[in-house]
Structure 1
């Protein structure tokens, strides 16, 4: 009986450690990549926004 409790406990510990991702620094890399994507999207959208602003000014003026 005692052996089965120890076996279940060891199995639970092994399962818990196998299912946990051990990369806490990876979150910050993903966050940095997301920020870079947003920055790149804003930079690439700038010419389109300028064109729309010029078209709006042309239409009003």
Structure 2
């Protein structure tokens, strides 16, 4: 049981940090006027929905 919890925490942390790294690499190449566009907002919403689905699945399981 403890191993399962540790693995779940690892994967949540991994996906969260990979999203932050992706945003950090992309921020240096965008112009300031293009920093927040429709694609960025959609990507942010997608990450939030994936995290919510993961948490709901973890709670129900």
More relative contact order in 1 or in 2 (CA 8 Å, sep 6+)? 2
User: Under a length normalisation based on structure 1, what TM-score does the superposition of the two structures give?
Assistant: 0.43
User: Under a length normalisation based on structure 2, what TM-score does the superposition of the two structures give?
Assistant: 0.43
Based on CA coordinates, which of the two structures has the bigger radius of gyration? 1
